[in-house]
Amino acid sequence: MSAPSPASTPAPVAATSVPSAVSGAPRTPTQADLLAFVRRTAADAELIASLPLDPEGRTWVRLEGPGGSEAWLIGWPPGTGTGWHDHAESVGAFLTASGELKENSLAARLPADGWKTLELTEEIDRQRKLPAGTGRGFGRHHVHEVLNESTEEHAISVHAYYPPLPQIRRYSRTGQILRLEHVERPEDWQ
């Protein structure tokens, strides 16, 4: 999940809680735990149907994720996307609940800090179609963009991150040049 960018601020909706499947003493959720959570949550047809959809901007509901993780239910109007970003030190997972999303990602770990511009190699790009019921987990510093390329259909997805997002770094990309544009903190999207 990515927090909204200033150019495409979605309409927020009220927070909702989804019980965690982790019982007993809390433990640090793994990528597998987060993927299992988003899969279970996406299967909740009533929850998915409750998300208000806006024809122009993304909408979202914050959920209670497993083991203290941060989770979101996100609605994607046709033709919307996140832009290139990462989730800093958080691991995560997301799954398309309805519609289809596309993920473009980089198959390399980038330096965490100390750079503004990087030249990427030709073999670094990955693309993945994520139809309803399809998801994936990812590690720290995973750089990607998520898109709803449909011209007619909304998509809805579920996202979870642990630890809760400390920041999101936003990038611009021109060809093989990736530039760090700005850093968002939780107060920017709450």
Q: What is the pLDDT of residues 40-52, one digit of tens each?
A: 999 999 999 999 9
Annotate 106-165 with three-state secondary structure: ECCCCCCCCCCEEECCHHHEEEEEEECCCEEEECCCCCEEEECCCCCCCEEEEEEEECCC
Token representation of residue 174:
């021109």
133 near 95, Cβ under 8 Å?
Answer: yes
One digit per residue, the tens of pLDDT, for the chain of length 190 reads 444 433 333 433 333 334 444 455 568 999 999 999 999 999 999 999 999 999 999 999 999 999 999 999 999 999 999 999 999 889 999 999 999 999 999 998 777 777 899 999 989 999 999 999 999 999 988 999 999 999 999 999 999 999 999 999 999 999 999 999 999 998 886 6
Look up tokens 């987990």; give the residue: 137
Which is it for strands 59-64 and 11-12: parallel, antiparallel or unpaired?
Answer: parallel
Q: Cis omega before residue 52 (within 30°)?
A: no
Q: What is the pLDDT of residue 187?
A: 84
Q: What is the pLDDT of residue 21?
A: 46
Token representation of residue 46:
């009533």
27 Cα distance to chain centroid? 22
Token representation of residue 6:
């200033």
Q: What is the pLDDT of residue 111?
A: 77
